[in-house]
Structure formats: C-alpha cells, structure tokens
A = this chain, B = another copy of it.
Amino acid sequence: MSEDSAAVLDRSATGGEACAGGARSKPRDRIVAAARDMFHAQGFRGVGVEAIAEAAGTNKMTLYRHFGSKDELIVECLRSVFAEGEALWAALEERHHADPRAHLVAWVREKAEYVLTDCRGCTLANAAVEITEADHPARRYIEERKAAYRVRLTALCAAAGAAQAELLADALSLLLEGARVSRQSGGMDDPHTKFMRTAEAMIGAFAGR
C-alpha cells in the first residue's frame, strides 16, 4: 500500500525526449507532472501536497525544497500547462504558416478533439474558478496568459481575413470555454461537436468561405 504508485508516472516532463535507459527523471519534474495530473483531475484544493509527493515517487520534504509553498507549485503547474499549449500552437503555426485560415480551422479542430478527449476542461479556467483568493499569484498569471492568448488568436483571425477579427476571436473563445465547462456540467451531448460546427460556421461567416 506504500510504494505501489512510484515509478509508474516516470515520464520525462520536459517534453517528448526519451529518458535514456531506466533512469528516472529528476524529482522536480516528476512533482510538477504528478501535480498537474492530480490538480486537473481533483481540483487544486482537493489535492494535498503529501499525495502529490507520493504520486511523484518522492516525499513532501523534497517537494518543499523545490517549491516554497503549495501556491508556488500551483503557479508552476499552470506555467507548465500553458507551455504545452504554446508548443501545440507553434506546431500548428509551422504546419500552416502559409495559410492562416487553414491554421484557424485546424486550431478549432484540435481544440474540439481536446474537448472530446478530456472531460475536466481547461486547467487555467478551472483554476480561475476554484482559486477565489483575489491576491493569489495564480490569478495574475492566468489573466496574463489568457490575455496573451487572446491577442494571438485575434491576430490569427485578422490574418485569416476576418471582417471583425477581435469579435470573431472572442466569439471563438467563448464557444471553446463554454464547450469545456459544459463537458463538466453535463446537460449536453457532445459539446465538442456543437463547438466545432458553430465555430466553423462562424469562421465562414466572418472570414468568407
């Protein structure tokens, strides 16, 4: 009952690089990997640091040697999540750098698939819902990143020839965020389908066909 979940999630947390041999990744990386999963699945307030350390195959003391507090660990997890999103965006950009409109609908498709796969929504948005302390460091970070994401999506919509790029970008954001939260609260079958259909219809309406 003690070490049954140790080396299970021995992923390399830096990206997709293989960790040579049977060598475990460094404790810090395992901690943020485990914390990301558990925070996402059970909520930030629903997971204790001890459980995180155990799931990461280490212990609480080591965790606190790398992160000054649970709140710092939370912020680091959000950073990690956002970085992953950045990587996905960069991949899309590279694949469709010549055709912004194709980039945009590829983005919609990807997000739709993500909504289909994961039933616990956007970690950033969930954090905003769950972390209510106004001065929590995670709040500032979330706002920054959501804003940054918005200007990028707006730029893409503009590049795709949208009539009102900002309005289209915001509408798409609303739809996506709504699809993710609707997935959690039930009451709608296949929100990702509805998201994709409406989003693509919207792109068609704003950016010609």
Number of copies of this protein chain within its complex = 2
**B167 contacts A198, C-beta separation under 8 Å:** yes
**B184 contacts A129, C-beta separation under 8 Å:** yes
Which of A2-10, A39-47, A55-63, A83-91 sits within the interface?
A39-47
The docked-state distance in angstroms from the alpha carbon of A124 to that of B184 is: 11
Chain B residues lying within 8 Å of A76, measured Cβ to Cβ, are: none
**A121 contacts B129, C-beta separation under 8 Å:** yes
Counting chain A residues whose Cβ lies within 8 A of the other chain, the interface size class is 35 or more
Given known contacts A41-B132, A45-B45, A181 and B182 CB-to-CB distance under 8 angstroms: no
User: Can you name 20 A-B pairs with beta carbons within 8 Å?
Assistant: A43-B132, A46-B132, A125-B184, A126-B129, A129-B181, A143-B185, A145-B187, A146-B187, A146-B188, A147-B186, A147-B187, A148-B187, A167-B194, A167-B197, A170-B194, A174-B174, A174-B175, A174-B198, A176-B178, A177-B182
- Name A's B-contacting residues (CB within 8 A): 41-43, 45-46, 120-121, 124-126, 128-130, 132, 142-143, 145-150, 167, 170-171, 173-179, 181-182, 184-188, 191, 194-195, 197-198, 202, 205
